[in-house]
Structure 1
């Protein structure tokens, strides 16, 4: 089976060693806050959280990229305040949503990159979730990084053959075809490999599997839960005040 992409592989040392349930709670609440009305009040707080988590746990290149992109979007979102022009308003409106989606993607990247499939499965079993939810989530959680890795490999192969840069601008449909077809073929092969691996690991058995590393509440979980409570309190304090 294809190896997990180096950019999204779980690091040997994860500084925020929290339960997947606590991390998922943070991602869920932050996304709800970002996409809700009046989210500007908590936007900079979520940005700070994303920067800290990325610098703590993600690979240096991934962390720097996420921090740089979201910081640039933050600066552009403030453009209408200093330049009172229609173009600035249009850019600010576009970046308004791009920044929120960018922060959501950054949090999702951190969640995927710091959570092993075995930890996620153990946490979902501890919550007594039905197997028709546990199995698809576990497979999807393992499948998405592999798809990203396959797409990265196809892009590198295209660049070696000269199908990058101006070629993509001059022939976008042909370039998209050269990217999508190999990726879909690789995804079909990867899906077969994942299905075989899941059967070997007994993912579809009716009995509840034995958990080696049981999920437990730690200091990092307390910090994340307190952070979630702080985001909610700060958001609604602004509504009530």
Structure 2
């Protein structure tokens, strides 16, 4: 098993920022990008703000995801601004839903992906403790950080095993029972087992004992954190005031 799957992060990062900065940026993105406005100041503000996850993903060595995200956003924004207003009712409903997903939800989703994929569990727990978040919230989130990467690896292993037996997603309509029985059911069983194991591991490490935990991780705000927070805060103020 790859170490980064358990840590949810690569050991080497060229552009490290504090987990609290990532959370703050995720909240701002959820507020600004979720709005459906594309005229006025939003015509310039949202595309500029949407570039932040792209550069962050590049700095986190997620080049493929970054390029896919940029292409999806550009296409969705172009369709939403220049094509949808001139289409018929039925075409507008169908295409607009897809375009709205790419412009309103996808940037926030990429910020969430960046948070999960570039933050160590220990860093996240320490950041939450410094924010005085109750452990009732810290424990589930710490389990979540390990849960999704582990499930992703488990799904890949099941898929590889089933491909050797000729059972793939392409055969779903030919033999849906086999796909459900040999791919979906084992994955569901693994989800339950992995969730229980990770919860037990979190409690074994001392989470939930009611005492202050020590940590070997070092987190803190640097100039990059302040710069990013100033940029997204300014974007929020411009969005709210104009």
Fold match by TM threshold 0.5: yes
Any idea what the Cα deviations from partners look like across 1:3-50, whole Å, max 9, x if unmatched?
Answer: 5549x9412332331111111010111012222353661431332112
Give the corresponding residue for 1:27: 26
Q: How does 1:206-221 map to 2 (within 5 A)?
A: 206-221=210-225
Matched, 1:43 2:46: yes
Q: Please give the alpha-carbon distance, in whole angstroms, between the structure 1 residues aligned to 2:134 and 2:61.
A: 31
What is the TM-score when the length of structure 2 is the normalising length? 0.83
Call closer, same or farther: CA 1:73–1:176 in 2, change over 3 Å. Answer: farther
The answer for the alignment partner of 1:61 in structure 2 is 64
Look up the match of 1:98.
101
The runs of at least 4 consecutive aligned structure 1 residues that moved more than 6 Å come to none
Q: Where does residue 206 of structure 2 map in the other structure?
A: 202
Does the 8 Å CA contact 2:15/2:59 hold for their aligned counterparts? Answer: yes
CA drift at 1:173: 6.2
Work out the CA distance in 1 between the residues paired with 2:20 and 2:199: 25
Question: Quick check: 1:77 aligned with 2:76?
Answer: no
What is residue 12 of structure 1 aligned with on the other side?
Answer: 11
Q: What is the match of residue 156 of structure 1?
A: 160
1:228 corresponds, among 217, 225, 232, to: 232
Quote the RMSD (CA, aligned, Å). 2.8
* 2:36–2:100 CA contact under 8 A, matched in 1: no
TM-score, normalised to structure 1's length?
A: 0.83
Asked if the contact 1:77–1:95 (Cα under 8 Å) also holds between the matched residues in 2, the reply is: no
Structure 2 distance, partners of 1:208, 1:191, is 25
1:212 Cα deviation from its structure 2 partner: 2.5
In structure 2, stretches of 5+ residues that fail to align are none
CA drift at 1:237: 3.8
